């Protein structure tokens, strides 16, 4: 099968554009989240977005417009929990994940029944991207890029040392909130293509790979963005050529690159 032929399908064009943009956002936000030890938040949010999606479908409302506020709310809550020393934050996130999943599955089985829909929500479908999704992905990506270009130094300072940043007058919680909102949007947008169970890997893998290859923050940020986009394109092409599910294929591509980077780091020592 010809690679050019693959993009003659409109759904593939949409998947490519939205996917590349979402992967780029996920990788950039992921660097900050992973370094701040917030990786689990990404995972928790994807489960919440599954529950939200199921409820939206049952209520027959537009899934995006329902999921976005719910997931943003969850992101706020998880950030609060993660920052409060008195809370056992990983337990809280695990509880939230499992509950959202359970609620989602209950809602689906009571309404439409356990059809292929569930499978699509969980593990993604390349057909899921609509024109609205693509437009939203463009807006989201512009916002994330602007944040990273204009406020790069502040983001670095806050990621490296929140306490110092706070003491020297940075509005740390404002940036954290912004990061949480953008992460929530990225997850909601990417989830139907990548799958609720797999989307968080888009946030975490590129950062981990880049951390093994580069020693400067700038290097890590750029490398994460590049690897994420490359892995998505590779994953999409392979999934089309071999008719494999797109989400899992993209994750496999990320995993391969991550393992290679581990090997590279071992050899360099």
Partner 1 sequence: MGCNELIVCENVSLGYEGQSVLTGLNLTIRAGDYLCIVGDNGSGKSTLLRGLLGLIAPQSGTIRRASELEKGAVGYLPQQTKAQKDFPATVFEVVLSGCLNRKGMRFFYTAAQKSEALMNMGKLGILELKGQSYRDLSGGQQQRVLLARALCAASRLLILDEPITGLDPAAAQDLYKTLTYLNEKEGMAVVMVTHDLKASLRSARTVLHIGRRGTFLGTPAEYLASPMGRRFQEEQS
Say which residues have a Cβ less than 8 Å from residue 240's Cβ, sequence separation at least 6: 1, 6, 12, 126
Task: Give the nearer residue to partner 1 in terms of CB position, either 167 or 260.
Answer: 167
Whether residue 75 contacts residue 184, with contact meaning beta carbons closer than 8 Å, is answered with: yes
- The CB-of-40 to partner 1 minimum distance in angstroms stands at 13
Task: Give the nearer residue to partner 1 in terms of CB position, either 85 or 113.
Answer: 85
d(CA 25, CA 229): 10
Residue carrying structure tokens 């020592």: 269
Task: Give the nearer residue to partner 1 in terms of CB position, either 46 or 165.
Answer: 165
- The CB-of-209 to partner 1 minimum distance in angstroms stands at 12
- The CB-of-133 to partner 1 minimum distance in angstroms stands at 31
Task: Give the nearer residue to partner 1 in terms of CB position, either 157 or 226.
Answer: 157
For Cα atoms 71, 48, 68, give the angle at the middle one, nearest 5 degrees. Answer: 25
Task: Give the nearer residue to partner 1 in terms of CB position, either 84 or 99.
Answer: 84
Sequential DSSP letters for 202-235: HHHHHHHHHHHH-SSHHHHHHHHHHHHHHHHHHH
Task: Give the nearer residue to partner 1 in terms of CB position, either 13 or 173.
Answer: 173
- The CB-of-70 to partner 1 minimum distance in angstroms stands at 29
d(CA 174, CA 135): 26
For Cα atoms 54, 71, 142, give the angle at the middle one, nearest 5 degrees. Answer: 115
- The CB-of-1 to partner 1 minimum distance in angstroms stands at 40
- The CB-of-155 to partner 1 minimum distance in angstroms stands at 10
Q: What is the CA radius of gyration of the chain?
A: 18
Q: Which residues of this protein are in contact with partner 1, per CB under 8 A?
A: 35-37, 149-154, 156-157, 160-161, 163-170, 210-211, 214-220
């Amino acid at each position: 099968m010809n690679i050019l032929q693959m993009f003659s399908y409109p759904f593939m064009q949409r998947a490519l554009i939205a996917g590349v943009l979402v992967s780029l956002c996920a990788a950039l936000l992921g660097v900050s989240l992973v370094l701040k030890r917030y990786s689990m938040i990404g995972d928790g949010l994807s489960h919440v977005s599954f529950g939200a999606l199921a409820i939206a479908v049952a209520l027959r409302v537009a899934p995006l417009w329902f999921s976005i506020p719910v997931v943003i709310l969850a992101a706020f809550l998880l950030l609060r929990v993660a920052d409060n020393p008195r809370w056992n934050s990983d337990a809280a996130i695990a509880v939230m994940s499992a509950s959202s999943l359970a609620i989602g599955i209950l809602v689906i089985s009571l309404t439409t029944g356990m059809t292929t829909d569930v499978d699509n929500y969980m593990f993604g479908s390349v057909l899921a991207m609509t024109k609205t999704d693509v437009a939203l992905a463009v807006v989201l990506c512009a916002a994330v890029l602007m944040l990273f270009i204009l406020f790069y130094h502040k983001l670095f300072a806050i990621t490296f040392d929140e306490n110092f940043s706070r003491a020297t007058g940075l509005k740390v919680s404002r940036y954290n909130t912004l990061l949480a909102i953008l992460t929530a949007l990225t997850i909601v947008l990417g989830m139907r293509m990548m799958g609720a169970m797999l989307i968080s890997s888009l946030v975490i893998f590129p950062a981990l790979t880049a951390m093994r290859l580069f020693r400067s923050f700038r290097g890590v940020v750029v490398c994460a963005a590049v690897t994420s986009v490359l892995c998505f394109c590779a994953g999409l092409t392979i999934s089309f050529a071999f008719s494999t599910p797109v989400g899992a294929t993209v994750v496999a591509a990320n995993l391969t690159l991550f393992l290679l980077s581990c090997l590279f780091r071992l050899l360099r020592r």
